[in-house]
């Protein structure tokens, strides 16, 4: 799977570990930064990943900051992106199954590394359920086009 991956300084260490894991599993990973733990601005990285997903250059995106919240807010400003900040694997699963989320945002200060790995695995493996959920996602997409 093609995955766009990025973090700010707070998520740098977790991003590096996730990148190594995803590459080892055979995924094609585009690392969009940051490339050090020096202070930086999370919206820049959220927009980079969201743009790749929106343009179809990546199938899914993974973002890491201190809480996952700022990254998800910024990523959701990009048309076609449904970013979900999740705190556990079940939330990651439901974000895919019910919301067809295409970007997962993780909070490095709140999610242990082992749980983050499980969340990413779950997020990548879970298909969208469709059905009644498709009607709801379609409403989101229609509203986005009107804006």
Options 27, 40, 98, 133, the catalytic residue: 98
133 is catalytic: no
CA 30 to mean position of chain CA atoms: 13
> What string of DSSP letters covers 2-38?
EEEEEE-GGGHHHHHHHHHHHHHTT-EEEE----SSS
C-alpha pair distances (Å), 62 with each of 37, 77, 112, 130, 142: 18, 16, 16, 22, 25
Options 9, 27, 40, 65, the catalytic residue: 65
27 is catalytic: no
How many other C-beta atoms are found inside a 10 Å radius of the C-beta of residue 30?
16
Catalytic site positions:
65, 98
């Amino acid at each position: 799977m093609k995955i766009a991956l990025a973090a700010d300084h707070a998520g740098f260490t977790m991003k590096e570990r996730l990148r190594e894991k995803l590459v080892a599993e055979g995924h094609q990973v585009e690392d969009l930064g940051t490339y050090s733990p020096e202070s930086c601005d999370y919206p820049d990285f959220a927009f980079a990943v969201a743009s790749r997903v929106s343009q179809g250059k990546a199938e899914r995106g993974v973002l890491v900051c201190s809480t996952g919240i700022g990254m998800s807010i910024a990523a959701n400003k990009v048309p076609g992106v449904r970013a979900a900040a999740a705190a556990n694997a079940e939330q990651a699963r439901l974000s895919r199954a019910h919301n067809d989320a295409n970007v997962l945002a993780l909070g490095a200060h709140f999610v242990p590394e082992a749980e983050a790995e499980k969340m990413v695995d779950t997020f990548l493996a879970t298909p969208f359920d469709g059905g009644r959920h498709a009607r709801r996602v379609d409403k989101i997409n229609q509203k986005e086009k009107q804006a």
